[in-house]
Amino acid sequence: MCETWLKPSTPNRLIPVPGYQLLRRDRADGRGYGGVAVLVKEAIAAVVLDGPDQVTAGSKLESLWVQVGAGPQKVVICSLYRPPVQTQARVTADLDELERQLQHNVTRHSGPIIIAGDININTRDTSSSTATRLQELFAAYTIQQHIKDATFRSSGSTIDVIATNRGVERAGTAALPLQSPQLDSCSGTGPRPPPGPVCGDRAVLAQTGHGGGEPPPQ
C-alpha cells in the first residue's frame, strides 16, 4: 500500500485487517500524509529489511522493503511512494536513492523482488529523460515494469509501478476488508478531498490516499 496517511502515533490495533499482519513505515513528520505499508498473511513469515546506512541528500522517497517467506522460498517486496515534486533536483535525488536501495537489496537477495507503488514518473513518456533514467535503472538490475496501461487516466500517464526481476503471470485480484474510511477515522487527518483518477485495471496495488491530498512542499 502507498499513501496510507497514517501517523506514527496510530497503533496497528486501530487498523484491523483480519488474517493479515500490517508492516508499515509512516512519514516521519507526523502530519499524516504519505506513508507506505505491506500486508502479509499471518501464517507467512515476514521481516522488515534494513536499508542503506545513509539516505541520499535531498531525497523524499518513501519505501518499505520486506522479506516474505522462509527457507529457500523467500520473496522481497518493496512498497514505494515518491511525492509528486518534479524539480530536477528532487527527481535526481529520489532516483539516486532508489538506485542505492536497489543495489543494497539486490546484492543481498538472489530471489524474486517485487516493487510496487506510486512513483509519480510517467513511464510511458519516451521523450522524458526522467522516465528514461528510471527504465535504465530497472534494466541495470534486470527489473521489468509490468504496468503498460495508463494509471492516471485524465492525463494518460502511467505513474505507478509493479516491477519484478522475474516473469509474472496475472492470477487475478484479491479483495481485502479494508477501506480508506477506516484509515481516515484512526489517522486523525479528517475529511479527505474527493477521490482522484482511478488507477488502471492492471495497477494491482492499494493506494489508500489520494495524490491530490499532498500538502505543499516544506
What's the CA gap between 199 and 102, in Å, rounded? 25
pLDDT of 153 reads 87
Confirm whether 123 is domain-assigned: yes
Confirm whether 167 is domain-assigned: yes
Confirm whether 35 is domain-assigned: no
Closest of 151, 182, 144, 173 to residue 18, by C-alpha: 182
What's the CA gap between 143 and 52, in Å, rounded? 20
pLDDT of 175 reads 61
Starting from the edge strand earliest in sequence, which strands make up the sheet with 144-145, in order? 46-48, 62-70, 73-81, 113-118, 160-164, 144-145
Confirm whether 11 is domain-assigned: no
**Which residues of the chain are modeled with pLDDT < 50?**
179-210
pLDDT of 217 reads 55
Averaged pLDDT score across all residues of the chain = 83
pLDDT of 70 reads 77
Confirm whether 204 is domain-assigned: yes
Q: How many CA atoms lie less than 13 Å away from 12 in the CB half-sphere?
A: 11
Confirm whether 21 is domain-assigned: no
Phi, psi angles (nearest 5°) of residue 23: -110, 130
Task: Quote the number of domains for the chain.
Answer: 1
Chain centroid to Cα 200, Å, comes to: 16
pLDDT of 203 reads 33
pLDDT of 110 reads 86
Confirm whether 169 is domain-assigned: yes
Confirm whether 13 is domain-assigned: no
Domain, as residue range, for 56 = 42-178+192-213
What's the CA gap between 206 and 204, in Å, rounded? 7
Closest of 33, 42, 118 to residue 79, by C-alpha: 118
Question: Torsion angle of alpha carbons 113, 117, 120, 126, nearest 10°?
Answer: 40
